[in-house]
Structure 1
Amino acid sequence: MKNVKENLNPAKILVLGFAILIFIGALLLTLPIATEDGHDLRFLDALFTATSATCVTGLVVVDTRDTFSLFGEIVILVLIQIGGLGFMTFATFLFVLLGKRISLKERLLLKEAFNTPSTAGLVKLVKRIVIFTVITESIGGIVLAIRFSFDMPIGQAIYFGFFHSISNFNNAGFDLMGQFNSLTGYVDDPFVVLTVGALIIVGGLGFIVINELYEYRKTHILSVHTKVVLSTTVVLIVGATILIFLFEYGNPKTLGPLSTAGKGLGSFFHSVSPRTAGANTLSMADLTHATLFLTIFLMFIGGGSGSTAGGIKVSTFALLMITALSQLKGKEDVVLFKRRIVIENILKALTVAMSGIMIVVIVTFLLTITEKGHDFIMYLFEATSAFGTVGLSMGLTPELSLVGRIMIILTMFVGRLGPLTLGFAITKRRKKEAYRYTKGKIMIG
């Protein structure tokens, strides 16, 4: 029994916790009360939906509005909320409300979940996260409800507003518009585009970054991590918006028919959404190949560490780019914002990126075998979307075979937890080597 407890390190507990949450969600979605027609949903489809919701992805094999009843939609929404913030955040907050002391083991779990270097201040951080989430989702829900009230009854508008606010703040991308349409009907609507876009951006920054921004009024200090996440996020959004505007400007099936302002809104939203949100205002199947390739690139990068987003994370991408640039310039150290980055961070970033590339390549390769009759870019797009927990699709998801659906389920699971967390959960505890070998050199480039 003692050995079993020792083997349950924080990484293993996180993996097991997410797996149990997904399984419970899948069982609830198979109940007749969870579907519109009252018939049992096939377990694999329920498992796919529960995984997509818990891993805040948004890929769906059945349309959410047309398939699920109010009960089923609420189950999905709860899975999104718990999966986005992390079950340890909810458990810790509940313990705090009940006056229970947070043990060292629970603090270590939080440290693993938030990917922070220390356990200091984590309980205080959890309180702020929950409060900030409630406030942000409420503001987003109210704004969207007011806008939707012009298109539907007020009761439905309120429900739709808060559902889409929670879904997009958690970067899930689930929607209730029906027929797999997502938000395409609001492509040039500033209230919907800017509100949902803001929810996606804030949810994807990372709670450590948000907490530092809150503390800035007192400390006037921002860590290197926060500066990297904020600056890289701005560069990616602005750069992608300009490129998409140029790529799709004359496309009659996307931005072509819109006004200049509408084109700008459409370009902006599509630069934000691939950062693991999954909602879309442009038809994925009608985008130019240049935009599709850019979308794949953005999906692979994802959002900030310790956020509701997936991907390899913007800090990983930024660090690898700066490392490469430093090497090309012949510099010995990698420096960001006048701080030298330790080699351990660089090696970890390289491991995360290479693991992500390997996963996407393997899943894409397998999809080309199991799924027939589609363009290669559809397989690559689907695999990257699942790994980045994005939820965007060119239409392949509902047509996936049994094997294809299982592969995407596993890919979403790996993408949400992260390759390193799963790696630490599978492998034995790392030990410091008692000796070191002599140096060897190989030819590079």
Structure 2
Amino acid sequence: MKMTKNIKRWFVKTSPARLLVVGFGLVMLIGGFLLWLPISRNPGTEVSFFDSLFEAVSAVCVTGLTVVPVGQTYNFFGRLVLAVLIQIGGMGIVLLGIGLILLAGGKLGFKTRSLFIQAQNLMGYSEILKMARKILWVMFGIELAGALLCWPIFMENYDPWSALGFACFHSISAFNNAGFDILGGYDSLTMYADNIPMVTVTSFLVISGGFGFIALIDLFKQKFHWRSLLLNTKIVIVMTLSLLIGGTIIFKLTTDQTWLEAWFQSVIARTAGFATYPLANFSHSAILIFTILMFIGASPNSTGGGVKTTTVFVAAVKAFSSSAEHDEDSVFYRRIPDLVFSKAFVVLFFGMFVVLCGSFLVMIGNPQADMDQVLVEVTSAFATVGSSMGLTPDLSFFSKAVIMICMFIGRLGPVTIANLLVTGSEKAARYTEENVLIG
């Protein structure tokens, strides 16, 4: 009884950011323990607890980086654990809790609402319960549709029940932008490189998951009427189309891929992690573009990672408007608040800081690795993409720990982690303002 009271007291006093970190951390530890147990693995396979923890962190962070061949290592129970971890990671701890509360007919307290706002990157408390319901319906509806569409595709190579299992896992993995596959080895979807239905369905799932729940709901609510859409939705649409089309053209011009393969690489570069073409075969210019796309990532309030499309858009608007004669900071006939610009530059700074520091540390742990490999690996971890040039299984213990930290930061968001490091109350003193030369 006393322990229960202490837990409740700690829950009330602890900030939403710390609760998110603790929640995700506990799920990762439990998941790592379950994956480490013999009941999760195929006979004759051995996986250390640290590697099992790596797989769990990668699943909860919806990244997809693996140190073991998932399809060959884990049995039905292990794959089920991975699927649940991916689903929790995509939904978020808080959204999962809200879903359970709704099923039980309970009410949302102030603390739960604060956590939901923090986890889903929202701006206020208005209609949180209705928004949570819509997100849950959208998520499970699209995943169900994806599984039904993938089922006949997998039945071409597997028996009906095995194909159904593959279809369900693939749909969850794709919509949540996780990039895990259970087909065996590290080949991902290379066997389906020319399969137009598979590429189409997977692209739909990945783009839907990375589009952002708020933007998706707004799009359908306004019946795709451009003028009625929120500014956030318009920016998401413009950035998503620009990055998809631009990436496809660049990958086609800089590699020997087909148009279908180039399209798929452009889709998965922004946080999905599947592959129909080996990343190790990319040219240096293509790897650079791929890394940039990974760093940008998906859109806010989505299952994807990265610094987000709106962040890059807003930073670009500020950069161009500040250099123009009239500094209006407006787009699509709407003015963007100064606070949004500040947040965008903070996210970009911390994102680049994590990638650069992570790359430096991994190069210390794996001095034999090429810089291209390390930069792709760390950016993939931070942006929760899961794409790799084959370096992951060969990483040292130290480098794996660095990659796990990068995945954790990327899933929670660099600003959330930075807020945890800020202690103390606001200073009462205000100092004299003085100019600083820039550029």
1:338 is aligned to 2:338: no
| Match of residue 416, structure 1, among 411, 419, 423 | 411
Query: What is the correspondence of 1:140-289 to structure 2 with a 5 Å cutoff?
Result: 140-217=146-223, 221-248=228-255, 251=256, 255=257, 263-289=258-284
Inter-CA distance 178–170: structure 2 relative to 1 (3 Å threshold): same
Among 17, 22, 40, which residue is 1:16 paired with?
A: 22
* Structure 2: gaps spanning 5 or more residues: 1-5
Deviation at 1:339, TM superposition (A): 1.5
Structure 2 residue 70 is matched with structure 1 residue 55: no
Q: How much has 1:4 moved relative to structure 2?
A: 4.3
Q: Select which of 431, 434, 438 maps to 1:440.
A: 434
Give the drift of 1:430: 6.2
Q: 2:370 maps to which residue? A: 375
Partner in structure 2 of residue 46 of structure 1: 52
Deviates more, 1:418-427 or 1:164-173: 418-427
Consecutive unaligned residues in structure 1, runs of 5 or more: 256-262
Letter in 1 for 2:433: K
Shift of 1:327: 1.8
Which residue matches 1:122? 128
One-letter amino acid matched to 1:232: M
- Find the partner of 1:317 among 312, 315, 318: 312
The percent of aligned pairs where both chains have the same amino acid is 38
Shift in Å at residue 372 of structure 1? 2.7
Distance 1:277 1:37 in 2: 30
Which whole-Å CA distance do the structure 2 matches of 1:5 and 1:397 have between them?
37
> What is the aligned residue count?
432
Q: In structure 1, give the amino acid aligned to 2:253.
A: L
**Match of 2:228, SS?**
coil
Structure 2 counterpart of 1:73, from 67, 72, 79: 79
Deviation string 1:45-90 (CA, Å, 9 cap, x unpaired) is 0110000000000000001001111111100000000110112111
Q: Which moved more, 1:34-43 or 1:81-90?
A: 34-43
Aligned pair 1:103/2:109, yes or no?
A: yes
CA separation of 1:413 and 1:328: change in aligned 2, threshold 3 A: same
Q: Residue 24 of structure 1: CA displacement?
A: 0.5
CA shift, 1:217, in A, is 3.8
SS of the equivalent of 2:147 reads: helix
Alpha-carbon separation, structure 1, partners of 2:120 and 2:241: 22
Alpha-carbon distance between aligned partners in 2 of 1:309 and 1:39, rounded to the nearest angstrom: 31
Give the match for residue 92 of structure 1. 98
Alpha-carbon distance between aligned partners in 2 of 1:218 and 1:275, rounded to the nearest angstrom: 23
Tell me the distance in 2 between the aligned counterparts of 1:301 and 1:333: 25
Amino acid aligned to 2:106: K
Letter of the 1:343 partner, please give it.
D
Residue 364 of structure 1, aligned match among 359, 367, 388: 359
| Cα displacement (A) at 1:3 | 8.0
**If the length of structure 2 is used for normalisation, what is the TM-score?**
0.95
| CA distance in 1: counterparts of 2:40 and 2:308, whole angstroms | 35
Q: CA RMSD in A?
A: 1.7
Amino acid at match of 2:188: S
Distance 2:358 2:112 in 1: 34
